[in-house]
């Protein structure tokens, strides 16, 4: 362990991390493991809930393994070897994960109430000082280049650098001028059920009865239990909580599997930000990680993997230039470049995939075509769980398959009788 500590006095830290979701706890852990004095703030006492589908993609699992915390998570998480895509009883197919290289070939599901506390505790065990019930209301840069963190109720602390990992809630970022205006938000909602019928070990995404771009999901969390929800990638005028209530009451597929099931949690909605750009990465004295940087996949809505990966990039950028209790002046630039290199191309293409394919008529053709075409199914895995180059959705073969299906569907519709 390197001795990188700045000052030893009570309220002085090297780095302050705001937000103890996966992004914040992972950043705090990576820094503390390498000897930095880290303060981690969250506005809530833990364990606390976070509205989510609870799915951990192969990329998330890989970073959790790199942190050394995966075995603790696997003890409690539910393991799924595939995603089942469903439009109707006829248009249903599996996305297997067998082709993934250098990545786990499964997905885990673990309620965020548990996951986030395991990660936070793991960071604390590495030496992080956690401040619960500490809503950070402002950060200011002092004349000696240190940063002052002010919480609503707790202590004011000083540090050399701050990391913001506050998720979809962008009020602090706007106050600090790191976001010029309210970012566009997507919406999703979920609840939990027990005693569900016909549930196997697949994660289910369903599209019938859902406004596009968007989807519904049934993610098993254990024997007969699941996280069930829906979300859309646009600013819907109707709340997703009421959309989900309607689906649970009337959707034929949900009605069938939930016949004797018990709802065991209220329906809760929460926003999602998919507006990533390297310019959201912070400034000279603040780095922004996870969903606070808009890092949520615009096709699948998954953001835990991006939160963990950006935490790793931020920690590397900080540690590489750390000297005499301060980050190097190149830290922000290094982080911004690393984020851009890893995610920018993927986000541009995923937004494009969402706009082109996730539309009425076209999406049904994609799903129908994927029922028969293994190449398309493979491309969909890469796009949905972010495990490959999204360009796979634009190869001549994929475009041909989708558009042949689209035009054959239109021709069928125009036939009399």
Identify the CA nearest to 127 among candidates 9, 1, 19, 21.
1
Q: Distance between CA atoms of 17 and 15, rounded to whole angstroms?
A: 6
Site for ligand FAD in 281-340 (CB under 6 A): 290-292, 296, 301-305, 307
Phi first, then psi: what are they for 186, rounded to 5°? -100, 165
What Cα–Cα distance (Å) separates residue 68 from each residue in 19, 85, 102? 21, 32, 17
C-beta closer to ligand FAD: residue 185 or 406:
185
User: Which two three-digit tokens encode residue 226?
Assistant: 């699941």
Closest separation in Å from C-beta 213 to ligand FAD = 15
Identify the CA nearest to 15 among candidates 124, 147, 167, 166.
147
Site for ligand FAD in 347-376 (CB under 6 A): none
Closest separation in Å from C-beta 365 to ligand FAD = 26
Residue pair 41/28 in contact (Cβ under 8 Å)? The answer is no
Region binding ligand FAD by CB under 6 A among candidate stretches 40-48, 80-88, 276-284, 327-335: 40-48
Q: Distance between CA atoms of 382 and 386, rounded to whole angstroms?
A: 5
Residue 172 within binding range of ligand FAD, rule CB under 6 A: yes
Site for ligand FAD in 261-280 (CB under 6 A): 270, 272
Site for ligand FAD in 51-110 (CB under 6 A): 51-55
C-beta closer to ligand FAD: residue 19 or 390:
19
Q: How many residues bind ligand FAD (CB under 6 A)?
A: 42
Residue 136 within binding range of ligand FAD, rule CB under 6 A: yes
User: Which two three-digit tokens encode residue 24?
Assistant: 């914040």
C-beta closer to ligand FAD: residue 61 or 393:
61
Q: How crowded is residue 156: how many other Cβ atoms within 10 Å of its Cβ?
A: 11
| Helix pair 362-372, 345-357: axis angle to 10 deg | 100
Site for ligand FAD in 197-236 (CB under 6 A): 229, 231
Please identify which residue in the block is written with the tokens 């993997």.
305
Residue pair 115/73 in contact (Cβ under 8 Å)? The answer is yes
C-beta closer to ligand FAD: residue 204 or 398:
204
Closest separation in Å from C-beta 375 to ligand FAD = 26
User: Quick one: CA torsion of 304, 309, 315, 320, rounded to 10 degrees?
Assistant: 180
Closest separation in Å from C-beta 25 to ligand FAD = 8
Among 15, 20, 178, 204, binds ligand FAD (CB under 6 A): 20
Residues that bind ligand FAD (CB under 6 A): 18-24, 41-44, 50-55, 135-136, 165-169, 172, 188-190, 229, 231, 270, 272, 290-292, 296, 301-305, 307
């Amino acid at each position: 362990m390197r001795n990188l500590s700045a000052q030893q006095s009570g309220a002085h830290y090297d780095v302050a991390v705001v937000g103890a979701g996966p992004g914040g706890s992972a950043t705090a852990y990576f820094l503390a493991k390498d000897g930095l004095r880290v303060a981690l703030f969250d506005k809530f006492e833990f364990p606390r809930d976070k509205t989510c589908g609870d799915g951990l993609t192969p990329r998330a699992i890989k970073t959790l393994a790199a942190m050394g915390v995966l075995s603790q998570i696997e003890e409690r998480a539910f393991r799924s070897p595939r995603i089942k895509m469903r439009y109707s009883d006829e248009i249903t197919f599996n996305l297997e994960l067998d082709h993934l290289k250098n990545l786990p070939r499964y997905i885990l599901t673990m309620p965020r109430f548990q996951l986030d506390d395991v990660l936070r505790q793991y960071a604390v065990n590495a030496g992080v000082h956690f401040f619960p019930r500490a809503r950070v209301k402002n950060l200011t840069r002092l004349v000696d280049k240190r940063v002052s963190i002010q919480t609503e109720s707790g202590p004011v602390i000083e540090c050399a650098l701050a990391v913001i990992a506050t998720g979809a809630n962008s009020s602090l970022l706007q106050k600090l001028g790191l976001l010029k205006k309210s970012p566009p938000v997507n919406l999703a909602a979920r609840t939990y059920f027990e005693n569900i019928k016909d549930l196997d070990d697949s994660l289910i995404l369903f599209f019938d009865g859902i406004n596009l771009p968007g989807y519904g999901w049934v993610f098993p969390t254990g024997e007969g239990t699941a996280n069930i929800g829906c979300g859309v990638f646009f600013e819907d005028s109707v709340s997703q909580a009421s959309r989900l209530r309607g689906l649970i009451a009337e959707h034929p597929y949900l009605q069938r599997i939930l016949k004797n099931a018990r709802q065991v949690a209220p329906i809760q909605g929460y926003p999602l930000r998919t507006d990533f750009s390297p310019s959201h990465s912070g400034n000279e004295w603040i780095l922004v990680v996870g969903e606070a940087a808009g890092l949520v996949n615009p096709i699948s809505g998954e953001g835990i993997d991006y939160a963990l990966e950006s935490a790793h990039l931020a920690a590397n950028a900080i540690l590489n230039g750390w000297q005499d209790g301060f980050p190097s002046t190149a830290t922000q630039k290094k982080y911004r470049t690393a984020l851009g290199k890893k995610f920018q191309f993927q986000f541009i293409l995923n937004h494009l995939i969402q706009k082109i394919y996730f539309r009425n008529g076209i999406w049904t053709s994609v799903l129908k075509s994927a029922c028969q075409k293994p190449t398309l199914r493979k491309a969909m895995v890469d796009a949905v769980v972010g495990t490959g180059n999204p360009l796979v959705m634009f190869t001549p073969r994929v475009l041909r398959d989708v558009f042949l299906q689209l035009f054959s569907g239109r021709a069928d519709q125009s036939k009399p009788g």
